[in-house]
Amino acid sequence: MNNPIIKINNVAKIYDTGKISVAALKEINLTIHSGELTAIIGPSGSGKSTLMHIIGCLDQPTHGSYFLDDLEVSALNPNKLAEIRNLKIGFVFQSFNLLPYLSAFKNIEMPMIFAGIDKHTRKKRVDELLEIVDMTKRALHKPTEMSGGEQQRVAVARSLANNPEIILADEPTGNLDSKIGDSIMNLFMELWKSGKTIIMITHDPKVADKCERKIELLDGEIKAQ
Ligand SMILES: Nc1ncnc2c1ncn2[C@@H]1O[C@H](COP(=O)(O)OP(=O)(O)OP(=O)(O)O)[C@@H](O)[C@H]1O
Ligand SMILES: [Mg+2]
């Protein structure tokens, strides 16, 4: 077994919106090892995206501790958190979340600009990534000029820009028809075989069955693994 890359101890997330407070996560304990392919499943509102946001350093737990690569990220300030996120984690979302006014090339390049990578290195890396996701011919197209499956390929390439150890995907095939969804899932399988740690939220049992490990959330708790 590879080393534990994600260690979550007694993590709770409570959203306090004035009158009501929602316990979106309750006492979650979870260890994920480097190189694992994990599916997170569970009904709507069970806390899947909340858990992913914490794992992805987009949000902090209300209680408990989170160690990423042995660094306690639950103790970091927002700037440091953003820095870690940009280097260690790639995100793919259901709605692709590409910047609409930028080409595929520019969208993929963006995380490298934030990381301070020089222009020559960026160009070389974007070309490689376009190749990996088979989108070289669409480099100069904007999102509105691409199909959903093509946009998601670009989003996967963007998630890989800074060569993160971890890829987090929230329903990456949710907006795609099943054939296109399969091709995106195949892309994730390739990335997994190349050594990436991948965590994927999905409602699709076929997608979840392809993962090594399944974690089921129910009412903010891990019901089964
Ligand atoms: N920013 C927020 N403020 C208040 N409550 C929130 C917030 N975000 C999520 N919640 C609540 O926390 C709970 C868990 O939400 P979460 O988005 O993690 O669910 P999910 O499992 O991802 O659901 P879905 O499958 O519909 O995406 C829900 O009850 C939701 O209403
Ligand atoms: Mg969600």
CATH of the domain at 22: 3.40.50.300
Distance 42 CA to ligand 1 centre (A): 12
Number of domains in the chain: 1
Averaged pLDDT of the chain:
95
Q: Which domain covers residue 68, as residue numbers? A: 4-224
Distance 164 CA to ligand 2 centre (A): 22
Distance 23 CA to ligand 2 centre (A): 15
Which residues sit with Cβ closer than 5 angstroms to ligand 2, an ion?
Answer: 49
Distance 44 CA to ligand 1 centre (A): 8
pLDDT-derived band at 218, boundaries 50, 70, 90: very high
- Could you count the other beta carbons within 10 Å of the beta carbon of residue 142? 17
Residues with a CB atom less than 6 Å from ligand 1: 15, 17, 22, 24, 42, 44-50
d(CA 86, CA 165): 11
Radius of gyration of the CA atoms of the chain, in A = 17
Q: Which residues pair with 65 in a beta bridge?
A: 9
Q: Which residue shows structure tokens 């914490």?
A: 54
**What's the pTM value of the predicted model, to 2 decimals?**
0.94
Residue 185 has pLDDT above 80, yes or no: yes
Which of 28, 40, 48, 53 to probe ligand 1 with, by most ligand atoms within 8 A of CB? 48
52 touches 199 (CB < 8 A): yes
Q: What is the pLDDT of residue 35?
A: 97
Amino acid at 12: A
Which of 20, 49, 51, 52 to probe ligand 1 with, by most ligand atoms within 8 A of CB? 49
d(CA 145, CA 186): 23
pLDDT-derived band at 120, boundaries 50, 70, 90: very high
Q: Which residue shows structure tokens 């090339």?
A: 105
Considering every ligand atom shown, identify the ligand nearest to the alpha carbon of residue 20 and give its number: 1
Each residue of 5-37: pLDDT tens digit?
999 999 999 999 888 999 999 999 999 999 999
Q: What is the pLDDT of residue 101?
A: 96
**Which residue, 32, 69, 33, 70, is CA-closest to 51?**
32
Distance 94 CA to ligand 1 centre (A): 15
